[in-house]
Structure formats: structure tokens, C-alpha cells
Structure 1
Amino acid sequence: MTDAAPVCIWLAGAELGEGPIWHARDQALYFVDIKGKAIHRCAADGTRRQSWETPHAPGFIVPGDDGGFVCGLQGGLYRFNPDSGDFSLIQPVEQHLPGNRLNDGFVDSRGRLWFGTMDNDERRPSGVLYRWERSLAPQAQDRGYVITNGPAMSPDGKTLYHTDTLQRTVYAFDVDAAGTLSRKRPFVHIEGSGYPDGMAVDAEGFLWVALFGGWRIERFSPAGELAGVIPFPCANVTKLVFGGNDLRTVHVTTAWKGLSPEERRRQPLAGGLFSFIADTPGLAQHHLSTEAKK
């Protein structure tokens, strides 16, 4: 775990900060503000800041192995060029469901993208978990979510974790080499305050879960046992990523969404980007394949 308290390295003011990724080539952290319709980038220490407006609400950003980026925006998957700030549609997603938007996303070791959709009003169970490979249409893997969150995978690539946020449950699935899911089962049910949001897996296979409204991150063993808690100075902790040269610098996004004016006054760091040093390193960021891998 860590003995160091999280430090705010960028008071970004994100209404709904999400989706941090560490890009080793750029030595930079990228993350999105879903409600603020923005992509942000900075160095590991929070300096060298840059931001771009997005045409639609961004759920995530992931790097491609061709040097570009793919963003999940409301209505589809888009190529993003940070040099020009341009977005171009690659693949429509659920354009027949205008009340849905894309939420969290993750690239596995085979270069496949896993992402979820959700009801933007957070009421209807219209959310779907998808798998996407560049030469195919997105393939639905699981359904019936109001808010999908936190796709993450074990170090051996054999277990996928996915969250039903409103049910406060993280599920585990078996994954075969083709990306087929089976044996869905509850991995952990969050007790106490907060709702499970974004997640990351460390090199030991422990799952770190950010808790929206919970003021903390919780770390669970591969057996689903609580192994540690990291308190935060703001309530809405949304997602984390391991970065830096040794993958021990943990970057964490937060949000002020849903806070009253008084709560925002008492939580001045809400919406900021935080970091701390972990005792255990994480896993390297995978890049989306330009072609499907067999």
C-alpha cells in the first residue's frame, strides 16, 4: 500500500474527472472531464498542462499503437489528434439511444478495448459492456447496467473486473484468448459509504477501487479480501492509474459533480488531480491495436 497521503498536483476543477492514463512515450498523464467536455494532459508532477475541448461528453481516452488516441465520446469512438485538437468518428456506438453515453474504458494486453455505456440520467438499465477490436463492430458482452464502470484485468489476462456502480458490486468474469466472457460472479460488494467507480490492478493482482462519494480508494486481494484503504480529502474519487518510470506513482481523478455549494466550499480540492507513491507498482498501459489480434 502506501503511507503517503494523496497530494493534489493540479486543481483542475473537473466537474467529473475520469479516465486517467499514463503515456510512457509522452511521459504524460491524460484524463477527461466528462461533464466539462474536456481532455487534459500534464507531466507526472502536474506541470506542462494542456487542455482540449471535446465535441461531445468524453468517457475515456486510450492510446493506439499507431501513435494516435481513441476517445469514447457520446455517440461513438473517435480518433483524437492532440497536435491539431481534431476529432474524427471511427465507429458509431448506440446512436439509436440518444439518452446513453460512453463511460469507462480499458485496453487489455491483446490490444482490445473494453468499455461500457450508461444512461446519462442514471436511471434506466440501458448500459452495456462492450469489447471492440479495430476490424470489427463493438461486441456486446453484458447488459442491464444503469452505470457501467471500471473495466480492468488481472495480470495474467484471465479475469476481467467490471462494476455495476449503483448496485455497489464489482463483478469478475473469466476471459479466454478470444475475449469471450464466462462465469460472471460477484467479486466484492462495497460496504460503508460510496459507490465503486474506476479501478486499476497492480503487479501483484490486487484490485484498487475508487469510491464515488466514499472519500477513499480501497485495495482488494485477488480473493476479494479488503487489503487496505487510502483516504482522500474530497468525497468523489473516480479513477486511478499507475504511472511514472517505475509505475509506482498513482494518479487519481476526482469530481465535484453532485456536491452542494456548501459541500464544494468544504471540499476545495474536489475535481483536482491527485498523486501518491504506492509500495507496489502497477501494470503498464496497453495500446489499442490498429488491427484485431488473433
Structure 2
Amino acid sequence: MTDHDVRTVLPVQAMLGEGPVWIGRDSALWFVDIKGHHVHRFDPATGAARRWDAPDQVGWVLPTAAGGLIAGLRSGVHRFDPVDGSFVLLAQPDGHPAHNRLNDAATDGAGRLWFGTMDDDERAASGRLFRFDGAGVADSGLPPVCITNGPAIHAPTGTLYHTDTVGKTVWRATIRDDGTLGAPAPFVTIEDGAGHPDGSVVDAEGCVWVALWGGWGVRRYDPAGVLMGTVSLPASNITKIAFGGPDLRTAYATSARKGLDAAALAEQPEAGNLFAFDPGVAGIAVTPVAM
């Protein structure tokens, strides 16, 4: 894989674009700008885009089974109403340090929400992976890391992929029926000079796509962790992809301007924009969060 018809579809110049998700009932891609405190909605059929202001750093937005949306703000899980732009706190992780924030999230086949936290200063190993079942938040039991990313879930096999960005390693664990996790095992470690693993997602063939912060692209790994190919993108800091469109065969990638000086921005003027490309494979529809 090389370019795959890579194109810019929304020039938002996000400081820290993240959390892309295709919401089928809405026929739109939703994503956030964490540092800009923004929620974005993009309709590729019309090219229409809309933006909401969040009261704090917002890591992700996901659909609920009841038809609404929930969002991960710095302080915890919130209900988000795009009609009036309101955010209402639903749950917080126990012992959540004041210097931490929520970072990335995914749902499993049962509609449980899995989300990670991280040290906002990117120094302390205080980030953890949590599970939200609609009623409360529970610690996943995985060891703490500085920056959690992913998570990505392959519902047919009950496999959860969890990323330690600073450690440059993607881990995997089995999700048991009761929502607890089996012992984690390393899945992929990114070699020196190739960037750091950021967000990830699983396609319809069970392969894992890992975005590379500082790596100018996205990699696809088979279920055994063997590299299958790379898609190059016109920005160094790629944060995550989502499969969208009516057939889930378009990949959308978020990116970031964070950490880039004037010289770097001059080299990559597309940094922070939303990209799209043909991945050559379909994705899996997101399971709404069970509330």
C-alpha cells in the first residue's frame, strides 16, 4: 500500500485532531480537536461541516443505543446534545488525577465503552484503561502507562488492542463475557525511527490499522502482528482512522499540528486536516454504547 488516492476532505487545521467515528444513522463522520476543545461533524455526501465548542479538552464522541451521543471530556464521560451543545457529566474514573485527561475510546460487541486516560503533561505513568457499562466506570486492570491510545476492538473474536504510545507497543487481550480482560500480550512494537503508535482500528478482515504519530502514515497489521502495508499521508502526526461511507470502504484519518514548529508547518501545510483514502477493505460498523 502506498498513497491509495489520499486526499484532504476537510481543512480544519486541528491542533490535535482525534477520535474519528462514522455514525451510520447520521451518515456522517464525527471527530474532535482535543486541544482546540471542539467537536466536528462532516457529511461527505454534501461536504457540509459543523463545529461545536466543548467546555474542556474532548477526546472522543460516540453514539449511544438510545440515539444520543456521549463524549469523553477531561473530567469524565459526558452526555453530549448537539441540539443545544450541552455536556452533562455521567461518570468519572475513581482516583482520576487532576493532571490526567481522557484520550481515546472504542466499544465492544456488547456495547461496553472502553476508554483510556493519560497524563496531560505526557510525563507520568498515570494513564489507565477503563470500562463504562452504562451505569459506572471500572478499571480494566491493565498496567498504567503514560499515554493510552487505541483502544481498538475486534468484536467477532472479543480481542481488545491497547496502545502504550510512549512504550511504542500495541498490546492485546481477550474480553471475557463478564467484561473483564485476560492477560495482555504484546501484539506489535514500532521500531525506532518510524514514529509512535497512536489510535488504532480493526477492519472487516480482522486486521489492525495503527496510526503513527511522527510517522507520516498508517500501518496495517494482520491478526498475527505481521506488517501488511503502509499508507503514506501528507502530515507527520497521524492520530487515528475510521472506516466510513455507506459501505464503510472509505478511510478517514485525523491529524495534528501539535508539536510542530514554523519550519515543520511550512513543510506540511496540510497538518491538522482530515484526510480520506481508499483502504482496499471495508471496516466494521461501530456498536453504539449501551446505556
TM-score interval, normalised by the smaller of the two chains: over 0.9
Q: What SS does the corresponding residue of 1:280 show, helix, strand or coil?
A: coil
Counterpart residue number, 2:49? 49
Runs of 5+ consecutive residues of structure 1 not aligned to the other structure: none
Counterpart residue number, 1:153? 153
* Distance change in 2, residues 1:46/1:212 (3 Å): farther
Counterpart residue number, 1:281? 282
For 1:89-127, what per-residue CA distance to the aligned partner results, in whole angstroms no more than 9, with x for missing partners?
Answer: 111235751100000000111000000000000000000
**Cα distance in 1 for residues equivalent to 2:241 and 2:121:** 24
Matched, 1:208 2:247: no
Quote the offset at 1:217 in angstroms: 0.4
Counterpart residue number, 1:248? 249
**Cα distance in 1 for residues equivalent to 2:53 and 2:46:** 19
**Cα distance in 2 for residues equivalent to 1:242 and 1:173:** 23
The amino acid across from 1:265 in the alignment is: A
Which 10-residue stretch deviates more, 106-115 or 176-185? 176-185
Which 10-residue stretch deviates more, 122-131 or 92-101? 92-101
For 1:173-216, what per-residue CA distance to the aligned partner results, in whole angstroms no more than 9, with x for missing partners?
Answer: 12211121112111010123210000110111000000000001
Matched, 1:189 2:189: yes
Preserved contact between residue 76 and residue 89 of structure 1 (Cα < 8 Å)? yes
**Cα distance in 2 for residues equivalent to 1:122 and 1:81:** 30
**Cα distance in 2 for residues equivalent to 1:36 and 1:93:** 23
**Cα distance in 2 for residues equivalent to 1:11 and 1:46:** 15
Counterpart residue number, 1:271? 272
**Cα distance in 2 for residues equivalent to 1:227 and 1:137:** 36
Counterpart residue number, 1:218? 219
**Cα distance in 1 for residues equivalent to 2:233 and 2:8:** 10
Percent of residue pairs identical:
45
Q: What SS does the corresponding residue of 2:25 show, helix, strand or coil?
A: coil
Moved over 6 A (4+): none
Aligned length in residues: 290
**Cα distance in 2 for residues equivalent to 1:157 and 1:73:** 30
Runs of 5+ consecutive residues of structure 2 not aligned to the other structure: none
The amino acid across from 1:70 in the alignment is: I
The 5 A counterparts of 1:1-294 are 4-44=4-44, 47-93=47-93, 96-191=96-191, 192-290=193-291
**Cα distance in 2 for residues equivalent to 1:46 and 1:263:** 32
Preserved contact between residue 2 and residue 279 of structure 1 (Cα < 8 Å)? no
Quote the offset at 1:148 in angstroms: 0.1
The amino acid across from 1:264 in the alignment is: L
* Distance change in 2, residues 1:127/1:166 (3 Å): same
Quote the offset at 1:153 in angstroms: 1.4
Preserved contact between residue 171 and residue 185 of structure 2 (Cα < 8 Å)? yes
**Cα distance in 1 for residues equivalent to 2:102 and 2:226:** 30
Q: TM-score with structure 2 length normalisation?
A: 0.96
**Cα distance in 1 for residues equivalent to 2:247 and 2:227:** 25
**Cα distance in 2 for residues equivalent to 1:174 and 1:226:** 21
**Cα distance in 1 for residues equivalent to 2:251 and 2:123:** 32
* Distance change in 2, residues 1:58/1:46 (3 Å): farther
The amino acid across from 1:275 in the alignment is: A
**Cα distance in 1 for residues equivalent to 2:162 and 2:189:** 12
Preserved contact between residue 113 and residue 132 of structure 1 (Cα < 8 Å)? yes
**Cα distance in 2 for residues equivalent to 1:137 and 1:175:** 16
**Cα distance in 1 for residues equivalent to 2:184 and 2:121:** 26
**Cα distance in 2 for residues equivalent to 1:136 and 1:177:** 17
**Cα distance in 1 for residues equivalent to 2:121 and 2:3:** 38
Preserved contact between residue 130 and residue 137 of structure 2 (Cα < 8 Å)? no
